């Protein structure tokens, strides 16, 4: 029980930020490209309550934590409602709206990495903040890689749909009602790790490259 409390304390803020800004980024991008549906429904917000799904964000992760001993965690927020037909160029702009979520997670991973560097630079001795910063990096990299997996309704699936020729895009988009079950099956079979591991490694490398000038100055 103590381990659960410590895990929740460390991950609560990073997860809330990761989910909230991911969904808000979709809403902001949709409005920018012409669809105000999410904005009118109050989803273009940094308030976590607007995006939390009681079942997917709270209940499922807790049940999975106890049933797998913390080995497997999964959750999701309420999807941002987007009317792709309202976008100025629906097929093209769909990709940008979808990409906004993972891009937000990548930026947040960078921010948490900068926090971790700042904690080391100022020699902050409290381990809790360093653990939270590492949790923030990991959480956002996981969300970045997971959401880029090219199966709709994940963001990667929408991006791929946008890039495919119309004929194939239409056929590919038809698997969306089954996409969640396909992804869950791949997760349980640990097939998705073959995607997650290299994508997260590449993202980490890019992050290290971005902060390398700062690390050079601090050293």
Tens digit of each residue's pLDDT (9 = 90 or more) over 111-144: 999 999 999 999 888 889 999 999 999 989 989 9
CA neighbours within 13 Å on the CB side: how many for 130? 11
What's the pLDDT band for 186 if we cut at 50, 70, 90? Answer: confident
Residue 126 annotated to the active site: no
Centre a 10 Å sphere on the Cβ of residue 209 and count the other Cβ atoms it contains: 9
Tens digit of each residue's pLDDT (9 = 90 or more) over 136-173: 999 899 899 989 999 998 999 999 999 999 989 989 99
91 touches 97 (CB < 8 A): no
Tens digit of each residue's pLDDT (9 = 90 or more) over 60-78: 666 666 665 555 556 677 8
Tens digit of each residue's pLDDT (9 = 90 or more) over 90-99: 999 999 999 9
29 touches 23 (CB < 8 A): no
SS3 content of the chain, % helix, strand, coil (to 5): 75, 0, 25
Q: Which of 14, 23, 97, 108 is catalytic?
A: 23
Torsion, Cα 6 144 61 58, to 10 degrees, reads 90
**Alpha helices by DSSP H, 2-45:** 2-32, 37-40
């Amino acid at each position: 029980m103590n381990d659960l409390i410590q895990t929740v304390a460390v991950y609560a803020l990073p997860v809330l930020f990761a989910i909230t800004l991911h969904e808000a980024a979709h809403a902001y991008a949709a409005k920018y490209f012409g669809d105000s549906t999410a904005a009118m429904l109050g989803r273009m917000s940094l308030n976590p309550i607007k995006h939390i799904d009681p079942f997917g964000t709270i209940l499922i992760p807790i049940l999975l934590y106890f049933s797998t001993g913390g080995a497997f965690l999964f959750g999701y927020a309420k999807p941002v409602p987007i009317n792709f037909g309202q976008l100025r160029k629906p097929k093209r702009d769909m990709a940008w709206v979808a990409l906004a979520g993972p891009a937000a997670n990548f930026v947040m991973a960078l921010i948490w990495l900068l926090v971790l560097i700042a904690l080391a630079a100022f020699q902050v001795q409290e381990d809790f903040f360093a653990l939270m910063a590492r949790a923030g990096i990991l959480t956002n990299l996981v969300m970045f890689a997971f959401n880029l997996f090219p199966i709709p309704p994940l963001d990667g699936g929408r991006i791929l749909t946008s890039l495919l020729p119309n004929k194939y895009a239409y056929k590919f988009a038809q698997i969306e009602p089954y996409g969640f079950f396909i992804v869950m099956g791949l997760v349980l079979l640990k097939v998705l790790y073959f995607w997650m591991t290299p994508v997260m490694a590449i993202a980490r490398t890019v992050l290290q490259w971005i902060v390398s000038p700062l690390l050079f100055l601090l050293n």
